Structure formats: structure tokens, C-alpha cells
Structure 1
């Protein structure tokens, strides 16, 4: 067996698990028992998984082991599902107490695709109320903690997924992202992710009673958190399989046309006047150096309309949220989440009425400017957050807290508003007064070229040691 697989099974990558199950070296049941034992050991202190599916996973693993041939590329690979996505027979709570009995009548496309690929769903992970915070805490499911320690938020809204995957509760974790909900937890916990672009992954919840707003449809995407980019190359092709229930899904293959080397990478350190923390600057330096060493053509150059795209994008999204979700947030949300939304609305005044329609229309203006830029620079290396991750509950500490947690995240919002793919990965562990934490970068790319982003992240991680080993040593 390879070097990585000399470690306990719960530490194996999805790639190593899939290779071994396909070769008959291990069984799906062996993998499942190892991951469930890890979940039992660490989840009580983390509250990442809020619904264990241990018995269902055991039964499905036994069925896989009894099959004549591997079911798919993820045969026997454990995965978790976020509680805001439908899984037949389970509650799609979205972190809201009023939805605790909303039982899904069928699987969402992402769940169906993972199962079809042979993945084993071992549990459902936590999300904040309405999946609309950069931190994960809810009156229904409680707080999710970061495995690096309680000096750090686990991020949001896929905080349960980020905490679980880095703690060893499965090598893959489903999450989604409308303003940063895959990338915030990746940054907080040290995970690796790629936020797919518009139309890449089919999405729909069979339990929903009304269609989502147009911006929610075009900005929210389904994805995965992992511990390595190689696991994204393994798993994302299964995730993007077509599903007719999403009529706007784009059925393109995972791999696009091979680019002509060297691939040009634009590097930006723009902090929009907020200030760039030295540790984040170091992360940019490390990633740029690794890409250059790997043969990429790395150049310092500023993308167009960056601050404006992020600012306008979030004001537009919040305009739709206020109009369509506002009554439900007021009626069913906690005092805490209502206060947080009040702060959001002050930081990013929502567009309303005709102004909202004009802002939605102008989305094409920003997407076009970025599309033209990406013709010359297919990849863009950016900060994600401008400083190290914040402590738990920071977004609930008034206007200053919301500004710290979300008000400087323009590099995140840009990618959702324009529908572009963007990946996050850690470059190093910072030894800060509050405690150690991973620091990383974002790599954005051309529409429907998530594969190029993951290639670039793979090149970086081949030159920079993974942070999960250090985390597991710290956890004991």
C-alpha cells in the first residue's frame, strides 16, 4: 500500500479509499466502521454532525460489499450531507427550529449523484439559521466548534462540513455557497474546496414549496469540502452529473480542453483599504511561489472593478433576501440572527424596487468585465479574508463584529455575483497569540474551468505540506 494508507483508515484520503475498495484491499464496511468510530470519538466535542446515519451507512456498506463490482468512482467513500439539502426521510432543517419536522420526500440531485457514485452518507452536518452566517451556531442544533480549538469559529454556513472533514469524520463533506459558505469553512478549518460556477452542479430540493429568487438560483451552488485537491478531482465529476430536475444545469464534462502552457495567473493583494494582515500576505507569497515553481506564469495585476463587483453583488443579493426571505427571518429566526441581518443591511444597504431590478441587470456588466479579463489571465490568485479567521460568535457582536466577519469579504462575494468558480486551500499554519490557525488563499478561474483551479491547487499542495497532519497531532 502507499505511504498515506499506512495511517489509520479514518485519515485516508478519498482517493486512497476508492483505490483500495476498487482493488479489493479493504471493504466498504471496514472504512465505514473506522469513520464511525472517529465520529463517536471527536464529534461530541465538535457538534459538526447533528444527525448520525450510522445504521444506514452500515447497511449500505454491506450492500456495496456484496455487490459483484464497484458501484462507481466513490465506492465505499464516506461523506456527510449538510442539513439544508434534501435527503429522503430526513429533516431539511436549514438550521431553523420551525423546519425541524420538514422531512424530505426524495433526494436532492447532489445526494442522488453521490449515492450513484458509491459514496456512503454517514451523517448530516450543522448549518446556522437560514444558512446565512459566516459562523455556525443555531438554537436548534447548537454551536459547531473548530477542531483547531475554541479560539476560532468553524465558519459558515457549511461550518459543520468543514469541521467534520478536517477532524477526520469522512474525507468528503457536502456544502453549498451563496456568498462564501464553502470557502469560509475551508478557510476557518484548513480544508480544500472549489466553489463551482453557475450551472455546474444540478440543484433542487424536492421539499421546497416555492422556487427560490433569481439571484439565489444564480449565486448559490453545491460543492464539496475535502483535505486535498486530488480528492476534488476524484469526486467533483460525480457531483456534476446531470439531473433533469435542474433545467438550467450545464452538462459539460469535468475536464475542459487542455490549456496551452504556461497558464497565466494574475495575482492581486488588493485589500480595498481595509488592510492586509501579514499572515495573509505570506499565504499569497507562498501560493504564488509554488505556482511559479510549477511552471505557471505568475504576474501581479489587478482584476477589473473588484471592490465594486463585491459591494454591488452583496447589496443586490440582500435586496432579494429582504424582499423574499425577510418575513420568514423575522417570524422564525432567533433574536440573534435577526440582529445579524440588521447589521448586514446596515453594512450593505439592500437595493429595493426598481433599483433592485437595475442592479440585477447590471450583474451582466460585472460578469462581462471579468470574463474579458479571464481571457488573458485564466486564473486569479487573491486573498479570501484579509486577516486571520475570527473567533466564534464574532458576527453577532454588533456592527463591528459583522463587519469583521462578513463586511470585508468582497473577494468572496465577487465570485458568487459573477457566477465564477473559485477554490480555497491553506498554505500554512499561523502561530498567533490566540492560538494556531490555518491561513489560505483563493484561486478564481474562467467559467466552467473548475478543473484548472483544482489543477493549480494540486500544484500548490504538492509543494506545501498538508495542514491536516498537524491538526490531528494537535487533537491527539
Structure 2
């Protein structure tokens, strides 16, 4: 393969070459930088270009390897970091103009773990203000566009990450997820991700001056967005390495024990009153058949009420946000984001006072129900959204827009409230009026069994194909 085509490789394919010494880290990084310079101006996915320091680091990795240093598991892999996580010497702006000069004094655990594994950060990716929209736009850096076309939102809040990795900018993209911020961009762009369960990936920002609210701590996780399911198996073991700065991190191995017999998968199309779009139903049927043919025991079975757990959990989160974050949004947010938050509070009426404490206690009830169900069915295949991904700025269109974007996404934020792993994988490339558009499904898993969810993603991907390939053809045709 020509050097300038190395950006096309998966992380698994690339590390087979870099670790063997067949490809220099410098060449791998340069190829991704060249790709970034070619396509990012039209996407605005990367909002801080770190090319110079990336090439310095890549050269240092090559020199160390030449002198006998053992290459890490992600040796020379180009990655991006979301701008709401600390990277030493760079601003953790979170898409907020008032925070544009908040320079991180040290790396967050997720950045440090990637560095230790040999990855090379080539840029920092865009997020909406306060990382609290399912779309990506802000007054500081502007809008990020979906590489499939400007008729589709890139998702959020890790929208820059999703657009970047699927366009070929970096092989792995860091993101995080408090209500769907890894899975929304994966679904929007046709990428693969797994939202880790609670305690799986160490998290902390050295620049922060106060601890986050309890529900934010319980619901928010760090993760990666990739073009191929195999890359999650390659990279997540490095990401979950322990860090004492997160006292609640659980140091468990990535791979759990093998399960006896065919793995049972609960299959549901229940959208709890929301209309299921035919293309989403077709994607679900495809995923079901792919898993069945791969040896899974797929059965129609209804998990505990995801609508009740999800809506209740998000109302609790809104209660915490109203008490702890609304003042910052009002003071530093744009009028657009203030208006969106006002509708959030209408869509998800915040719990407060004693009621909020009671709901936080009831979280264990919901989690126990799911834990018992997952004893019988280690995996749950479900919709992610009941309809194809929405257009940009849909959440600025009042109550109806917010309802379509977040109100119906109960399978998303329920998993955050429960603290369970949930993966997202494309199962169909739909032909819609605006053009081809990927449709992702969600696979939830037992606690600590992200590996099972990723295995299922790989089985679906083996039949559906990697969505990056038709996307790159589309991008090339559009630029011709």
C-alpha cells in the first residue's frame, strides 16, 4: 500500500504493520495528517490541528523502536481527542467561548492511556457548547458537517469525533457519553462504538476546579468511535488501564469468561409508542439475521421497561443539571443553547429536592431489573433511534425538534442511567430522499461485558460491511 493511503487502514491493520516495523509511525501519522488537511476544511470536525507535535511524537516513537524499545499496542496509530477532555498544554474549551483559554495542566487519564499505548494525537475534535446537544455547533468553532452530506447532523456531542474518523481523519476518535454522545455520532456517521459501563474507563480532568454532580459521575463515560468493530477489541484494553485519579475505576480485564452454549440475544422492536421507520425496522431485521447466522440464539423478548428507566433517569439528570449547571449555561452559553436547555427542561421536567433523592435511590431498582434480565439474555438487540438520523439544528426547532432528537432516544440514555455497556453498529445503508444514510442498531450487554457487545457488532459488520467504504466513494465522487 502506498504511504499516502495508510489512512484507509483500520487500527488493527495498521498496527500489524507498525509493530512489525514494516511501516514507520511517522508515515502512518503523515498520511492521516494529509487526509485531515484535504477533507477537514469542508467538515470542520477537527478544530485544533496538532500536526507538528504529532509528527515530533511519531518520529520519537520510531527512534525509540529503532533502539530496541518495545512498541505499544497502538504504536503509531493516529487518534483525535475531543475538546472537552484535558490534553496538557491545550484548551479544554468544551465549545464555550468563555473557556477558550482554559489550558489543561496535564493529560486526562484517557489521553495518558492512549499515549502510553503508542497512539499519536493529530487533532482535537469539535463538540457543542457544554457538550450537551446531539448535534455539533458552537459560537467558538462553528458547525461540524456530516461527511455523508449536510442534510444529516453529524450527531453530538462527539460529533467532531464521529465525522473525523469516518472521513479518514485519524483511525480512532476519542469521545464521551452521558446520554448518547458516543452512540449518536456513531449512528449519524455509520461508525462503530461501545459506550462502556460505569467504572470501566478512568476519567478526570486535571483542569477542573470542582467535582461533577453525582449523576454526571454515574452516567458519563469515556470511549472511542471507530470505523471497524475489531478496532474496539484492539484499543479498549489500553483505554481501560487503571488510573488512581479515578477512585471508582474498576480494574477488570477487557475479555470476560466465555459463556456456555449459544449466547442468547433478546430482540425487540418496541419503540414505546414512537413510530418505527421502515428503514430502521429493516436494519433491525438484518442485524437479527446476521447474529442468528453467526450462531447467536436470537429470541423476541421484551426487556424491562426501557421507557420508564430512560425517561425517569433523564429527568433526574435534568434535575441535577438545573441545580448545578443552569447558572453556567445562562452566564456563558449562547442564546441558542440557552433556548435548547429551556426546552430540555420542558421535555424532561427536572426532579428536585426529596423527589430527586428518591429517584436516585430508585436507580438501583431499575439496574437490578436489568441485571436479572441479562442473566437470561446477555445481549439485547434494539433500535437506537426509531427513525433515521435527523437534520442539523433539529433540536433548535422547539419542543417538536427536541422531542425527535432526544425525547424518543430512550434506548440511549437508559443505558447511561443503568450504567450498562451499549454498542452501536451500522446494519443498513438506506436510500433516503437526501441520499444514502447509514442506520445503526444498539446492542446492550451485561455489566462488565463490553466485549460481548463488540463481538456482536463484529458479526453484524461482517455481513453489512464497513460503512466507511461507500462513504469514501461518495466523498470522492462529490469532490471530482
TM range (shorter): over 0.9
1:99 aligns to what?
99
Provide the aligned C-alpha RMSD in A: 1.0
**Which of these residues, 48, 51, 54, is aligned with residue 51 of structure 1?**
48
**Which of these residues, 12, 15, 38, is aligned with residue 9 of structure 2?**
12
Gap change, CA 1:474 and 1:306, over 3 Å in 2: same
Does the 8 A contact of 1:71 with 1:116 survive in 2?
A: no
Unmatched segments (≥5 aa) in structure 2: none
Q: Which runs of 4+ in 1 moved over 4 A?
A: none
SS at match of 2:91: coil
SS at match of 2:463: coil
2:378 aligns to what?
378
**Which of these residues, 15, 18, 22, is aligned with residue 21 of structure 1?**
18
- What is the deviation of 1:306? 1.4
Does the 8 A contact of 1:84 with 1:127 survive in 2?
A: yes
TM-score by length of 1: 0.98
Structure-1 separation of matches of 2:87 and 2:282: 41
- What is the deviation of 1:7? 9.0
Structure-2 separation of matches of 1:464 and 1:133: 29
1:204 aligns to what?
204
- What is the deviation of 1:6? 10
SS at match of 2:351: coil
- CA deviation string 1:242-293 (max 9, x = no partner): 0000000000000111111200000010111111000000111010100000
- What is the deviation of 1:71? 3.1
- What is the deviation of 1:69? 3.1
More divergent stretch after superposition (429-438 vs 43-52)? 429-438
1:262 aligns to what?
262
Structure-2 separation of matches of 1:438 and 1:69: 42
- CA deviation string 1:26-71 (max 9, x = no partner): 1001011110000000000000000000000000000011012343
2:288 aligns to what?
288
Does the 8 A contact of 1:157 with 1:181 survive in 2?
A: yes
| 2:66 paired with 1:90 | no
Does the 8 A contact of 1:255 with 1:451 survive in 2?
A: yes
Gap change, CA 1:7 and 1:293, over 3 Å in 2: farther
Does the 8 A contact of 2:4 with 2:31 survive in 1?
A: no
Q: What pairs up with 1:338-353 in 2 under 5 angstroms?
A: 338-353=338-353
Structure-2 separation of matches of 1:266 and 1:325: 37
Does the 8 A contact of 2:3 with 2:27 survive in 1?
A: no
- CA deviation string 1:422-460 (max 9, x = no partner): 000101111101221100100000000000111111111
Q: What pairs up with 1:161-310 in 2 under 5 angstroms?
A: 161-310=161-310
2:451 aligns to what?
451
| 2:115 paired with 1:154 | no
Does the 8 A contact of 2:164 with 2:173 survive in 1?
A: yes
Structure-2 separation of matches of 1:269 and 1:367: 21
2:392 aligns to what?
392
Structure-2 separation of matches of 1:42 and 1:102: 28
- What is the deviation of 1:142? 0.4
2:62 aligns to what?
65
1:414 aligns to what?
414
Count of residues in correspondence between the two structures: 473
